[in-house]
Structures are given as C-alpha cells and as structure tokens.
A and B are shown apart, each in its own frame.
Chain A
Amino acid sequence: MSDDGGLERRSTSLFGDQEVALVDLLDRLLAGGVVLTGDITISLAGVDLVRVSLRALITSIAPVERPSAAEARTVASSVDRPQLGSRHG
C-alpha cells in the first residue's frame, strides 16, 4: 500500500485554492497572519486539528455503533482521506 514513491503526489498549488489541502491552509491560518485584537475574538490558537478531524470523522460514521476512541484512531489512520474536510465536498 505504501511502496516508495507509489503514493499520491499532492499537486503544487499555484494560487488555485481548490488544490490547496485544507490541512496546509489551516497550518498557516491558525499560526500565521497579522494578529490584531478584534472587537469580537474567536479563540483559534488552541485548536487541535487532530481532535477536530477525529470528531468530524466519528460523527460521519454510520450511527450503528459508537466507536471507542481507540477504534476511531484506527479508522482515522486507515481510511483513505487525502485531506480533512472533503467529507461534504
């Protein structure tokens, strides 16, 4: 399943935001940019993307059985998801 070089190569994104992986974008948006104290402040600094994505994944699994945390982790790493958030297109 993971021979050398056999995995998908993520295309270089030349300003086309459709090609930008959400995880790469969030790396930058959550840890970058000019920080101004807005009038309304939404707390983003501590967002744990792994937890967020696991939660999204768990809620997207058919509600027949609720997987334990360990199972959810297995699912998360084995399911073929090139980027998070593609679930709803």
Chain B
Amino acid sequence: MSDAVTYVYAVTRGADEATVAGLVGVGGGPVRLVASGPLQAVVGDVDREEFEARALEERLEDLEWLAATARAHHHVVDAVGRVHVVAPLSLATVYYGDDRVREVLEQGGETFRAVLDRLTGRAEWGVKAYARDRPVAPAGGSGGDRPRSGAEYLRRRRRELREGDLTLEEAQQAAEEVHAAVGALAEATRTHRLQDPALTGSTERMVLNGAYLVPVEAVGDLEALVASLAEHPRLRVELTGPWVPYSFAQVDVS
C-alpha cells in the first residue's frame, strides 16, 4: 500500500480492540478503533491513490467496486453492530489520517451521542411488497389460443393492460395499509426507492420498499404481522432484517 488514508465505517461506544480483531475491511485490510472520550470510530486503512482516483470520477458507476466496497463496509458495521450500538457512516467516508478522525469525533461528539441514544435497543427491519401478478391469458405468441385477428389481439391486449392497472392500483393501496400497520410498531419509518424489476429479478412490480426502526421488544409483533400477510391476495410481502440502522442514522454532521 503506497500511501494510506483512513476509512471510517461507523461510530460506536463501548467497543474495544477485541470487538474488531480479525475483521477484514474495505480493500482487505484489518480494522481498528480510533477513540475520543466515550466514542470510538471503527476505521481501517485504504489506498489513498485508489480513493483519490475514484473521487475524481464525476459519479461512481463501477458496479464491481461499489459491490465489493458495500459488502466489506457492511461486513464490518454489521459485526460491530451485533455487540454494540452503532451509528453507521455513509459509504466511502475517508480522512487523511487518524488525527482527522479524532478531530471529527470531538467536534461531532454531541451529535453522535444523540444518534447512538436514539438507536439503542432498536434495529432496522425492511418490508418489501410486490404486486401479485393476476393470472391473465398470455398476450399472444406463447401458446394458448391465438387471437384470430389483429383487432381481437388489440382488444385483448387493452383489456389486459386495464386489468394490470387495476391490479397495480389495488396493490398500491394495500401496500399503504401494510406500511401504516408496520409503522405503528416502529419508532421511525422511511421509504426507499422502489426497486426496478431489472434489479429485483422479479416480474412482479414492487409497491413498497420500507425501512422501520423497531424496538427489540416489538420484533415478535412485527414478525407475526408479516406472517399474517403471507396469503395476502394482492401482495407478496418480504421481511428483511435485523439490519444495523443504516436508514435511521441519517444526520448531517458536516
């Protein structure tokens, strides 16, 4: 490594070197702590040239790099988050050295403490819902009875599209109800962008991509609620989690 800079994963409290021993971080390097008062930053060295080169790109569109960095970032934050409350930092936060990190910890100390207090005893859960495809006649071509004329084909196609719209609308309404019901168990909610079918690999349209900050004591209720939706006529509902509270650590300390 020619020249190293300090990559910051998260801010936590109560952690010691044993918490991060053996963890492999971004770029394959080890993970360590930078402490300031009661707070610790979870950090590791990364290659300065690489990050400076990435920074020059107007927008990062290198999926390989993004995926590897996201996985490594998550691996570290998640491992620490199992044992201690963490305020995860946004992806790719880099400082010139540990002294700079210590400075940031000191300056943002109060904010970090407030964020950690807010997140203690809570975890993030994800609820995604997809509009179920209503079984419709194949739109010509793929077997079944073929339309006898172009006009008939168009008639069928229009009907299918209309039914499709209806199904989607009903699913969107149902998704709002699910969001409200899950939200009632949560202390905070956030909705992420609906994932494109190109990303989900599913033909079903996503109608809800929610994140919920749920107190540990309400997790049983959450799981029971989602289980009760398994046979929902309009929606297919997925639960993911517990996540470290990425979606709820969003404060701007800059």
Contacts and interface: CB of A to CB of B under 8 A. Distances in A.
A13 B55 CA distance: 32
A4 B251 contact: no
Main SS at interface, chain B = mixed
B63 A53 contact: yes
A77 B198 contact: yes
Given A31-B192, A82-B201, A15 B91 contact: no
Interface residues of B, number: 76
Contacts of A1: 203
Main SS at interface, chain A = loop
Contacts of B87: 34
Interface of A: 1-5, 7, 9-10, 12-15, 17, 20-44, 46-56, 73, 76-77, 79-85, 88
Nearest to B226: A12
Contact of A13 (B61, B90, B100, B241): B241
B70 A29 contact: yes
Nearest to B245: A32
Contact of A33 (B58, B75, B88, B204): B88
A13 to B, nearest CB: 5
Given A13-B241, A17-B74, A20-B74, A33 B90 contact: yes
